[in-house]
Structure 1
């Protein structure tokens, strides 16, 4: 199998860590089993390890503890029904779900935002749960934004953005990242900027999709990365973190996330945001900024389920 790329793995961890997950495996007869996970966390990049927690009372306990491996499927924002299905006592959870075997053998669900196929590394009893630590053998991510869960409700990029779309003077930008580079375009004044546009009644999500289409890239709006008031221009600004930008852009260029390469960014608020993004990319740990171009706070993205 192809060796794991630590940088790509770190980016995948950072992008999807707040998503709703379904953990899958095969039982002793080769039949698929799965459940909506209580916890999913990266443990190590070298070797690449992740963990999930499973209740001792789960009907899948014996199967998972004795399985040679498992897969973690990060659900996309359109897969609420799958999350509910795997969280409830359904007789055959896979009856209406398309899936295939991953490189390690565990079930990979179709249409997910990302998946990690793991060999079992270790199991640890922990109170009323067991911790399953898996060694990542293969993984992949797509352009589909992930499904979030917080305070008893599902959260999607579209819902979060549209809730803010009624503000006047709303500007949407897209932070499109690929391999440690971010897409910047000509701002028309001799500097560089993120692709952006004003929202005119269509909603922030629709505006973000138009922006991505204008670049010619294969990407989709992910989670809102920053919300701030631009006091100089008296407008509210929302920036989407966009995932999987395949292909070459029709306009602009991908620029490394280094101070020297970001010097041409003309908007101070955007430059501050990109500096923060560069630091968070190194750590694989992202937050959402609320404030204005001079002050505010970064609220960490936390797994809600």
Structure 2
């Protein structure tokens, strides 16, 4: 049995399961094969299990149904070409892609946001698809933002931020996460808050980059996590970002528990942090739309 830090694995699951994924393995001759997954989700943390769905009509069906293991590669936002390569028919999808064998043997693509190298735990026939359930034998993830796909188009964190450029009355904040903990700052009144700014002179993407730089920690801008309007009719946009190891210049990474929430004076931020803690445990994130007191959470679209 492979032992993992549950907090690190939960963080990897929760952060990346909504992105575009490429599933890989080797055929009987040792040749690497792969496809862009149309469904990927976590199944269990103990034991660590993930699942992907493979269409019965896929040219890879026999190979994957008989394979002893496979890897799930979560593509980063600059890997649109990789997604297209593995989504289209090709004699050798790996010819222009850098990869290496993972610890459990399956092909791991270079530059991905995260990967999970799995042994086959179980296969389940489900209508016109086969569900492959894999036991995670090894995994790794980076701070690179994932590539999303919704309504027939790719979605990236950079594009989301640029779409908000130069809007007046907008507050940009950063929910900076590492291993399930959030970077919290002193709000100046003895309480806690998250990095935020109203300086939108150069756009939301620049404002977010400056927030991260001000914390003096390496982190990548992520997807919009919450959108709401306060009583002053200011629009608040919060981005979920991933941080690397290192000590921030201000504040500290903190586990979101009840005692921590009691120190957060802003009720909207408190609610957002409470929601993050809950979704992090479930590994199923969404986007909040509403005002500072009520709204709805729309689940993120899973990879295609």
Normalising by the smaller structure, the TM-score range is: over 0.9
2:38 aligned partner: 38
SS in structure 2 of the partner of residue 290 of structure 1: strand
Tell me how far 1:4 sits from its aligned partner: 2.2
1-side partners of 2:78 and 2:286: how far apart? 23
Q: 1:204 to 1:45 in 2, by over 3 A?
A: same
Relative contact order (alpha carbons < 8 A, sep ≥ 6): 1 or 2 greater?
Answer: 2
Structure 2 matches for 1:170-249, cutoff 5 A? Answer: 170-232=170-232, 234-249=233-248
Question: How much does 1:161 deviate?
Answer: 2.6
What number of residue pairs does the alignment pair up?
Answer: 304
State how 1:10-89 maps to structure 2 within 5 Å.
10-89=10-89
Q: TM-score, normalised by structure 2?
A: 0.94
Normalised to the residue count of structure 1, the TM-score between the two structures is: 0.94
Who is 2:106 aligned against? Answer: 106
1:245-299 C-alpha deviation (Å, 9 max, x unpaired) = 3211111112221122232323221112112112222222211111111221111
Is 2:147 aligned against 1:150? Answer: no
Query: Structure 1: 5+ residue runs without aligned partners?
Result: none
Q: Corresponding residue for 1:131?
A: 131
- Aligned match of 1:297: 296
Residue 2 (structure 1) shift:
5.6
CA deviation digits over 1:88-117, x for unaligned, max 9?
012211111111110000010111111000
CA offset at residue 304 of structure 1? 4.8
Root-mean-square deviation (CA, aligned residues, Å) is 1.7
Distance 1:176 1:98, change over 3 A: same
1:166 CA drift (Å):
4.2
Cα distance between partner residues in 1 of 2:200 and 2:133? 48
Could you list the structure 1 runs, at least 4 aligned residues long, displaced by more than 6 angstroms after superposition. Answer: none
Distance, in Å, in 1 between the alignment partners of 2:270 and 2:165 is 24
1:280 matched residue in structure 2: 279
In structure 2, distance between residues paired with 1:292 and 1:31: 53
Change (3 A) 1:33 1:304: closer
Question: Is the contact between residue 219 and residue 246 of structure 1 (CA under 8 Å) also seen in structure 2?
Answer: no
| Partners of 1:304 and 1:24 in 2: CA distance | 15
| Comparing 190-199 and 45-54, the one that deviates more | 190-199
The CA deviation string for residues 69-102 of structure 1, in whole angstroms up to 9 with x for no partner, is: 0000000111111101100012211111111110
What SS is found at the alignment partner of 1:222? coil
| Structure 2 stretches lacking a partner, 5+ long | none
Offset at residue 30 of structure 1 (A): 1.5
Q: CA deviation at 1:197?
A: 1.4
